[in-house]
Amino acid sequence: MVVNVSRCEDGRFYCAIVLKASAKAQANAAKGGTKHFIGTEILRVRPSGEGMFKGTAFDPETNMHVDATVTMNGPGVMDLKACALFGLVCESQRWTKVNRD
């Protein structure tokens, strides 16, 4: 999956919008109720401390918004942790910046 992370339109948050996704990811999102996965906002966070951001992540496979924490781990690397059910069910991902030509 390829996402674009930039300031949201309101300027207070950072948003991640899906630009590309595999056919499998799109099919899984459709099964969860997200018909148009490309263009979907899947992350909205704001600064909450040195190198940390908090907000919400969207899980297209369950069609749920969950609490999210992003930690910056160097240039172009961020770790995302999203939790549901009051933090009982969590999933982590590492996102790495790629250069687009």
Question: In this model, does residue 53 exceed pLDDT 80?
Answer: yes
Structural tokens at position 40: 């979907």
Phi, psi (degrees; rounded to nearest 5) at 23: -60, -40
pLDDT band at 88 (very low <50, low <70, confident <90, very high): confident
Residues forming a β-bridge with 88: none
26 compared with 99, residue with greater pLDDT: 26
**Cβ within 8 Å of residue 46, ≥6 positions away:** 12, 13, 14, 53, 54, 55
The rounded distance, in Å, linking the Cα atoms of 23 and 78 is: 25
Q: Which of 57, 19, 60 is nearest to 39 (CA)?
A: 19
pLDDT band at 16 (very low <50, low <70, confident <90, very high): very high
What is the value of pTM for the model shown? 0.89
Question: In this model, does residue 19 exceed pLDDT 90?
Answer: yes
